Amino acid sequence: MKLGKLKEIDIRTVWAHEQYDFSKWLATEENIKELGDVLNLSLTEIETEKFVGSYRCDIVCKDEITGKSVLIENQLEPTNHDHLGKIITYPVFQ
């Protein structure tokens, strides 16, 4: 088995734009499944840039097990009040 070395890179060389590049990458079925596996969720019905109240959520999907909606507000940079405020103030969403 050959092992590689971890190398730090500028994240923007992989995903130049959060909404158009990173969200699109994360919302693919394969990557959402990987995220769901880590979180012990079965995520389906994936939608990007979906309006939730007066805000647009990066990714909205449904947990097949509970039937509840899952809102994903992704961010490539350090977190800030804008993203935290949105996720707190989204209306109850089912």
pLDDT value at residue 92: 61
pLDDT value at residue 61: 94
Question: CB–CB of 47/29 below 8 Å?
Answer: no
pLDDT value at residue 22: 94
Question: pLDDT averaged over the chain?
Answer: 88
pLDDT value at residue 75: 85
Q: What is the pLDDT of residues 18-53, one digit of tens each?
A: 888 999 999 999 999 999 999 999 999 999 999 888
Taking CA atoms, 70 is separated from 27, 37, 80, in Å, by: 12, 14, 20
- Is pTM beyond 0.75 here? yes
Overall average pLDDT of the 72-82 stretch? 83
What is the C-alpha end-to-end distance of the chain, expressed in Å?
Answer: 46
